Amino acid sequence: MKLNMFYESRESTDQFLRLGDVVEGYVSPSTKIIEPFLSFERKIYHKYHIDIEVPNYSVVLTPCCSIEDHMISLTPLIQLRSDFLRNKYYTEDFTRINRLITPKLAFPPDEWEKMSTDDKLEIESRESNYALYNIFVYAPNELFSPYELRRQEIKHYMIDFRNIQTLKCDLIKTKEQREKSGKEELPILKSKRLQLSDSIRKELREKLSYYFWRSNDVNTE
């Protein structure tokens, strides 16, 4: 894949938020509890922890046609996991994680060699599928800072479908509201840094759909 086809050029970028857009300037909360708050009696001790951070970049996971009530879904753009580097098929192009692959390719060579013949035959009999259901990888861009994993410089980033939050902002407008006012509010436009090409947005939409609609006996790891 040509990396320059992963994103739209600045001249082709739409002046509103779209599924898969890379944006900056949004907070990302993370909540941890000991157990559900089933009682609010004073004798019951509830312990919880809320982390608030502002990631360098986030990704919009609401389709543009579904943006309404001044609300969008976001997920932080994060670094790849180091274990991805064990798989040569991934390291040749990490965006392969985004697409259907033959089952054998999902296993690092050393792990594959340790399997029994029966296990190998069973895996090879399966149809092509997503190996990492919850992960979508973003190709390198001059916007992104490189980082090091296992002594290698990495420029790819990823999102995790398990980590999606809702954000509300009065400046976020529906298509009808934008048309009525003539344009999106300037701060929203300034927060948008990258837009996926149509083909890559289609890949994201298909994988995101599969993640939420897959049978419940499929593991995400």
Amino acid identity at 123: I
Number of domains comprising the chain: 1
Q: For residue 131, count CB atoms less than 10 angstroms from its CB and return exposed for 0-12, middle for 13-18, buried for 19 or more.
A: buried
pLDDT band at residue 184 under the 50/70/90 scheme = low
The Cβ of residue 205 has, within 10 Å, a number of other Cβ atoms equal to 15
**Tens digits of residue pLDDT in 61-76:** 998 878 888 899 999 9
**Tens digits of residue pLDDT in 18-44:** 999 999 999 998 888 888 887 766 556
Percent of the chain surpassing pLDDT 70: 89
**Tens digits of residue pLDDT in 94-105:** 999 999 999 889
> How far is residue 8 from each of residues 13, 18, 22, 175, 198, measured CA to CA in Å?
6, 12, 12, 20, 8
Domain enclosing residue 51, as ranges: 10-96+133-213
Q: Please check the confidence at residue 4 and state whether its pLDDT lies above 60.
A: no
Q: Let me know: does 23 contact 56? Beta carbons within 8 Å.
A: no
Q: Please check the confidence at residue 209 and state whether its pLDDT lies above 50.
A: yes
Quote the distance between the C-alpha of residue 131 and its chain's center. Answer: 15
In a domain, 121, yes or no: no
Q: Which of 18-32, 74-88, 168-182 is predicted with the least confidence, judged by mean pLDDT?
A: 168-182
Q: What integer best gives the mean pLDDT of the chain?
A: 87
In a domain, 140, yes or no: yes
pLDDT of residue 2: 43
d(C-alpha 5, C-alpha 198), whole Å: 9
